[in-house]
Amino acid sequence: MQTLSLTVYVLSAVAITSAGPVQQVVSKPKPFDVQDGAVLVWHDEKITSDKCKDTAPVVKDDPDFPYVGKHVAKLTLAQIKTLDCGSMRLLDFPLQLSYPGTKLSTLDELFEFATCVDTRRKLQWNIESKVNPASTRGVDDFVAFQHQAFVKSTYDLSQITVWKYQSFDWRTLIGMKALEPRIPTAALANEATLIGFAGLNVIAFEGATPGEKIANAAHSIKASILSPSATSGLSLAADPSQPGYVPFTTKAMIDQAHKNGMLVKPWTVNRVSIAEQLFNLGVDGIITDYPTQIRRFIQQRGQPVASPFSEATVMSCLKKHRQTV
């Protein structure tokens, strides 16, 4: 019988979006490479108007200004650093706190903040690459620049629980493994994955169900973790208690991944009913926009969770490292 981790990991999706702006206290950063090669902690291909607003051009008569609405890969870091990305409150998160004037962070700056909080270097990292050949830098650039940031950080890459490098574009996982075999990779999956990533025809893999095929495909690229969507895109309901709910993460998928020696951590789980269903099926962790609430649910189940950092320490380090326009 295979032994899996006893500690449940609750990962915040992108950032603690339910609590503050997307660049605040990020535990699942999604890096984008800007025009001059800096690795930016940001979720979208463009600078979006619901998250950031312009202040002033970096130089007089800058033809790129305004910067909101532009692709990240077409802007320099200096241009991006003029943006106020802390004043906007996302409509989907009405209880979100704002931090007016906050600038976006680079991955290097995020590591600097993290080491202020995490003096013993125990933090678990879950870093997603965001690649779209039509509007971002290519796979090779993504992997090279992010690998440089990982090496520059003071975290020990040989600690297998420290890094989880994940992507929908499985080519980046293959590239990162080639550069740094010690970094565990996580293969993101949803219905679109069935079309195939990294030249893989997922449907052609062994398995009686699509879930088993996906688990075997992820295993073929040496992924340590399978990170599937919790809910199917074909679902007609949002909650398992409702008629028409269709999960994407299934028992067959989880079991096959475990047989392959992989962990399973679905996304993005914002309902306790879905979290309960998934843990009953045997997942090893979940990604959520509401880590505080899901953490309480897991503790209620009597399962151990990773120890939190001191709020006072986090806020002190945030005050020290937060940049404002």
Pairwise CA distance, residues 96 & 102, whole Å:
14
Q: Pick from 229, 13, 28: which is nearest to 128 by CA? A: 28
Count of residues for the chain?
A: 325
pLDDT tens-place values along the chain, 325 residues long: 222 333 455 565 544 444 444 433 334 455 555 677 788 888 888 999 999 999 999 999 999 999 999 999 899 999 999 999 999 999 999 999 999 999 999 989 999 999 999 999 888 788 887 766 566 667 777 778 888 888 888 887 654 334 556 777 888 888 888 888 888 899 999 987 776 567 788 989 999 999 999 999 999 999 999 999 999 999 999 999 999 999 999 999 999 999 999 999 999 999 999 999 999 999 999 999 998 899 999 999 998 887 888 999 999 999 999 999 9
pLDDT value, residue 39: 86
Whether residue 73 contacts residue 32, with contact meaning beta carbons closer than 8 Å, is answered with yes
Residue 39 identity (one-letter amino acid): V
Q: Which helix (H) or strand (E) holds 288?
A: strand 285-288
pLDDT value, residue 176: 87
Tokens of 270: 């914002």
Whether residue 211 contacts residue 253, with contact meaning beta carbons closer than 8 Å, is answered with yes
pLDDT value, residue 124: 78
Pairwise CA distance, residues 179 & 129, whole Å:
15
Distance of CA 287 to the CA centre of its chain: 8
Which of these CATH numbers, 3.20.20.190, 3.90.76.10, 1.10.357.10, 3.40.50.300, describes 9-46+95-321? 3.20.20.190
Q: How far is CA 299 from CA 33, 65, 243, 279, 307, in A?
A: 38, 49, 29, 12, 12
pLDDT value, residue 171: 85
Pairwise CA distance, residues 295 & 8, whole Å:
9
